[in-house]
Amino acid sequence: MQLSEKSRQRIAPWAAVVILVMIWEATVRLLDVPEFIFPGAWATAQALVTFAGPIGVHSWQTFWTTMVGFGIGVVVGLVLGFIIGSSKFLYHACYPLLVGFNAIPKVAFVPILVVWFGIGSVPAILTAFLICFFPIVVNVATGLATLEPELEDVLRVLGAKRLDVLLKVGLPRSLPYFFASLKVAITLAFVGTVVSETVASNQGIGYLMMSAGSQMRMALVFAGLIVISAMAMVMYELFAQLEKRMTAWAHRGQR
Amino acid sequence: MREANTEAPFVSFDQVSLAYDGSGNAIEDISLTVEEGEFVAFVGPSGCGKSTFMKLCTGLHPPTAGSVRVDGEPVTGPLKISGMAFQNANLLPWRTTLDNVLLPLEIVRPYRSQFRKRRTEFVGWARDLLRTVGLEDYEEQFPWQLSGGMQQRASICRALIHRPRLLMLDEPFAALDAFTREELWCVLRDLWESQRFTVVLVTHDLREAAFLADTVYVMSRRPGRIIERRTIDLPRPRELAITYGEPFTTLVQSLRKQIGEIRGT
């Protein structure tokens, strides 16, 4: 049966997943790796089903803390990016500071957050926020700062105020940058939450993996990994679709 | 409609010079007047400060010396009574043609405060303008779906939607092919004939200047000075055909010769 180019493209990512899982299972079986070291795909799938209940509870915890942290990250990122991007002076003044802040491993913040807020959801939310707002700030600020002077002149000859220029030209023009950064930020937010949960929580997928690992139940640990990446992939795809819909004008070459 | 102000000229430059930085004047000692409803064109070799002249006239840039007055008032900031079109159409890619044309009404007083209430009426204005330039079927298209000529038509509509008394055109047809260019000359001619706004056209196309304008100013090389003011007294309305016959060709020839001499020195 001949498949069209389009449907082949649609099937390709699923095929890649299936092939990877098969290689995984085959490697484990051929090398006869014990399950408490490196469980195969089948053992991991069994763990996923057996512990569906606890996994569900902990994934929900991870999911909502990530989304709250991400939400704060979007708001703060947008506001900061807007402020920094709207003035050349601020852009130059704040950029090195932001880069320096971004270079700090966010896991180093977790102990501080625990001292301030105790263990639980709050450090997880804040770690997710700290790790995900940077790409949003940078993208929004860059989108605004790289505004073509010609487009600006169109409004300036009409006597437009700075704010007019920002709202009518700067903001719409930086939307593609903003949506592109959301895709990066959402996956980073999951990283932040899970990192914090492994260190300072008694809930969430990160905690589940940590405690399962200490009991040598590696299949459950791997089940946790699969769940995190599945959640991140779904959210990524969601924001990719949103991006396509909101900024179709910027992707005209791909239609 | 307009108050006929016969006392003072509509636009007047009095010994205006502008230097962007220490590298000397971009334009120097420019004195001229433009009457309301007049169509003037500026020609000169490239780099002669034609675009600088535009910036001074619209108030985008203040002069270093001398004074610029428009409608009797000294120009201190961007004018509200002017519309402008550039060499590139500069349409906003996220707006449809119609929304691009409506943009000035969202900015310029008094329309901006009435924009929501009078939207249907404003859309009507935009549609009328788009029809006169032959874009009635492209209102809902995005700029990238239009050809260069169509984009430039839309850009001229945008410059006119808020009914400016002064239309500034900065080489608006320079990036178009010869046929489209001549077509748009006629579009501009018809718009001007029917509405009689004041036009300042900057161009390096001598035929364009001679065909459209009442008065052609020839500028020297940098620092730009006005070295000749020539009144074009060809009868109006002018048909495109005149550009291929006498006395039009002789006129363009002599302008051409003058610019050649400037470039030679």
Task: Residue B185: give its domain's CATH number.
Answer: 3.40.50.300
Helix/strand/coil for A83? helix
Q: Choose between A153 and A57: higher pLDDT.
A: A57
Q: Is residue B5 part of a domain?
A: no
Give the pLDDT mean for A116-123. Answer: 90
Based on the domain organization, do B36 and B125 belong to the same domain?
no
Based on the domain organization, do B107 and B213 belong to the same domain?
no
Does A149 have pLDDT greater than 60? yes
Q: Comparing C-alpha atoms, which of B214, B252, B239 is closest to residue B41?
A: B214
Calculate helix-pair angle for A52-85, A88-103, nearest 10 degrees.
Answer: 150
Q: Is residue B160 part of a domain?
A: no
Give the pLDDT mean for B105-118. Answer: 85
Q: Choose between B263 and B197: higher pLDDT.
A: B197
**Which pLDDT band holds residue A48 (cuts at 50, 70, 90)?**
very high
What CATH number should be reported for the domain holding residue A180? 1.10.3720.10
Helix/strand/coil for B202? strand
**Pairing state between β B11-18 and B27-34:** antiparallel
The pLDDT tens digits of the residues spanning B27-39 come to 888 888 899 999 9
Contact A181, A140 (CB under 8 A): yes
| CB-CB neighbors (< 8 A) of A168 in chain B | 92, 103, 106-107
Based on the domain organization, do B72 and B170 belong to the same domain?
yes
Nearest to B94 among A159, A164, A249 (CB): A249
Q: Is residue A233 part of a domain?
A: yes
Based on the domain organization, do B68 and B173 belong to the same domain?
yes
Helix/strand/coil for A240? helix
Q: Which residues contact B182 (CB under 8 A, 6 or more apart)?
A: B240, B243
Does A47 have pLDDT greater than 90? yes
Instruction: Please state, in angstroms and rounded to a whole number, the distance separating the CA atoms of residues A214 and B27.
Output: 79
Phi, psi at residue B31, to the nearest 5°? -130, 125
Contact B25, B64 (CB under 8 A): yes
Contact B1, B163 (CB under 8 A): no
Based on the domain organization, do B96 and B218 belong to the same domain?
no
Q: Is residue A48 part of a domain?
A: yes
Domain residue limits at B66: 11-81+165-264
The residue out of B112, B133, B153 marking a domain boundary is: B153
Whether the complex's predicted ipTM surpasses the cut of 0.85: no
The tokens for A79 are 């506001």
**Which pLDDT band holds residue B2 (cuts at 50, 70, 90)?**
very low
Cis peptide before B223 (omega within 30 of 0): yes
Q: Is residue B65 part of a domain?
A: yes
d(CA B248, nearest CA chain A) in Å: 34
Q: Is residue B2 part of a domain?
A: no
Phi, psi at residue B222, to the nearest 5°? -55, 130
Contact B82, B166 (CB under 8 A): yes
The tokens for B216 are 């052609």
Does A211 have pLDDT greater than 70? yes
Q: Is residue A125 part of a domain?
A: yes
Contact B157, B133 (CB under 8 A): yes
How many domains would you assign to chain A?
1
d(CA B115, nearest CA chain A) in Å: 14
Nearest to A164 among B92, B107, B162 (CB): B107
Q: Is residue B218 part of a domain?
A: yes
The pLDDT tens digits of the residues spanning A181-198 come to 999 999 999 999 999 999
Based on the domain organization, do B107 and B28 belong to the same domain?
no
Instruction: Please state, in angstroms and rounded to a whole number, the distance separating the CA atoms of residues B1 and A26.
Output: 86
Based on the domain organization, do B240 and B112 belong to the same domain?
no
What dihedral do alpha carbons B43, B45, B51, B52 form, nearest 10°? Answer: -110
What pLDDT was estimated at residue A204?
93
Q: Is residue B149 part of a domain?
A: yes
Residues 41-80 of A with CB under 8 A from B: none
Based on the domain organization, do B74 and B181 belong to the same domain?
yes
Based on the domain organization, do B107 and B139 belong to the same domain?
yes
| CB-CB neighbors (< 8 A) of A251 in chain B | none
Q: Is residue B20 part of a domain?
A: yes
Domain residue limits at A215: 41-248
Strand order, beta sheet including B73-74:
B27-34, B11-18, B65-70, B73-74
Based on the domain organization, do B25 and B143 belong to the same domain?
no
A153 to chain B: closest CA residue? B60
Find where tokens 């709202």 sit: A167
Based on the domain organization, do B73 and B117 belong to the same domain?
no
* Interface mutation target, options A154, A164, A174, chain B, most CBs of B under 10 Å: A154
pLDDT-wise least confident of A101-105, A171-175, B16-20, B188-192: B16-20
How many domains would you assign to chain B?
2
Based on the domain organization, do B134 and B218 belong to the same domain?
no
What pLDDT was estimated at residue A255?
42
Q: Is residue B259 part of a domain?
A: yes
